[in-house]
A and B are shown apart, each in its own frame.
Chain A
Amino acid sequence: MYQSERERWEIRIDKEADIVAVRQRVRDIAKEHRFDQFAVAALTTAASELSRNVWVHAQKGIALISVLRNGHKIGVELEFVDHGPGIADLNRALAGGFSTSHSLGLGLSGTKRLVDEFSIDTGPARGTKIVIRKWKKEF
């Protein structure tokens, strides 16, 4: 599997409006590659959740969006990197449901359910890197 160099975007996240920018770019790409409305919503929402996490917890980070091809399959990969405080209790964050409190709204477990692949690398003082992938339904 390879990524064609041209189909990769980088968006800096250091203000709240950037969350909207990431969201819109992901939506446009998903629509362009003819993902169905439910897949578009899943990708866009996941992008929104993860961008917001970066902004809320690290105030600064980056979103990397790529289009993936594997034979005839098409997928979208989103990578969110920040050098924030990291997630201390990862297991709890991944297990739990939604927190309604503004500051703890990580929503990671929910986001995980919207995508096909989810990987996270985080730790105190190590920052956080989250990579998610969603493949277009083949038929």
Chain B
Amino acid sequence: MDILKLDDQELKRRLAFFELTDEDFKRLTALKPFAERWTNEITEGLYELIMGQQESRAFFPDQATLARVKKLQNSYFLGLFSGTYDLNYVRDRLRVGTAHERIGMPPKLYLGAYRRYLALIHARLQDHFKGNDAEAFKALSTIRKIIFFDMALAIDTYISAYLETMTRHQAAIRELSTPVIKVHDRILLLPIVGTVDTQRAHQIMETVLVQIVEQQAKVMILDIAGVPVVDTKVADHILKTTAAVQLLGAQTILTGISASVARTVVQLGVEITRVHTRSKLSEGIELALSIVGKKITSNRERAEGGGA
């Protein structure tokens, strides 16, 4: 719902685009008796369509649900003629849309239902205005405006819900693609696997920096064995990250540097002199340990009282 950011300004803009004026509001209020007279019939007519199609029928499995929903439909219909079309009205409509989205009703059914609604209302209006076609036409125009206004809100709730899902997914993908691992006290490791484009490079730098501060890590090992192509751009991204790590007061060790990467980097004239580099990850880990004042010893060394 946040994504919609509906405020007074936006409401004004929407009402203007749907050409809803005070004249329309007055007309809608005047039609309230019409609405109260016909709401049951119109709701029945709507559900005749819905229950007549297999796909839509599935959403109303039992009589109790159907009865409840018809009641809600009646109050929705009457709401169209309430006379007040402010943010509360909007919020109410958004709730309706959200409810439908949540039960998984696809937009096509939702919009199909609205079409049926309009047809039923049209038929009743002709009866109501008994031959006064001009008035019936004006009433239908106004009702059509408010119904389309409502439909726009409903569609927006669907889009909102999808965007929220995508946001969650993207966040998960980001986390999964930059898995920072704590190898040892104050030593972090980030294996970079796959292509590194600008967006990913930014993501990597940001994750690395945040983790270093959070974990107070002295050493960050960046393993690039899994990066298929290391060109000047990628090298530049990596160097920016190591520079930023240095600014924090930590060190970077680049590992997984293949023969071809070493060749490319030097041939491209990229300077990687101020960063520790090793070809194998294991060597990088050993170096990291020595930086924090530790080392790996074999069990035999220790048993023999060695391992200085």
Contacts and interface: CB of A to CB of B under 8 A. Distances in A.
A139 B170 contact: yes
A69 B5 CA distance: 10
A58 to B, nearest CB: 32
Contacts of A69: 5
Given A38-B206, A72-B3, A139 B9 contact: no
A139 B166 contact: yes
A69 B9 CA distance: 13
Contacts of B9: 4-6
B299 to A, nearest CB: 45
Contacts of A139: 163, 166-167, 169-171
Interface string A34-45: 001010000000
Contacts, number: 17
By CB atoms of chain B within 10 A, which of A36, A69, A72, A139 has the most? A139
Interface residues of B, number: 13
Nearest to B173: A139
Interface in B1-52: 3, 5, 9-10
Contacts of A5: 9
B232 to A, nearest CB: 16
B298 to A, nearest CB: 44
Nearest to B206: A38
Contacts of B202: 38
Contacts of B206: 36, 38
Interface string A113-139: 000000000000000000000000001
Interface in B119-175: 159, 163, 166-167, 169-171
Interface string A60-103: 00000000010010000000000000000000000000000000
Contacts of A38: 202, 206
Interface of A: 4-6, 36, 38, 69, 72, 139
7 contacts: A4-B10, A5-B9, A38-B202, A38-B206, A72-B159, A72-B163, A139-B163
Closest 6 interchain pairs by CB? Answer: A139-B170, A139-B167, A4-B9, A38-B206, A139-B166, A72-B3
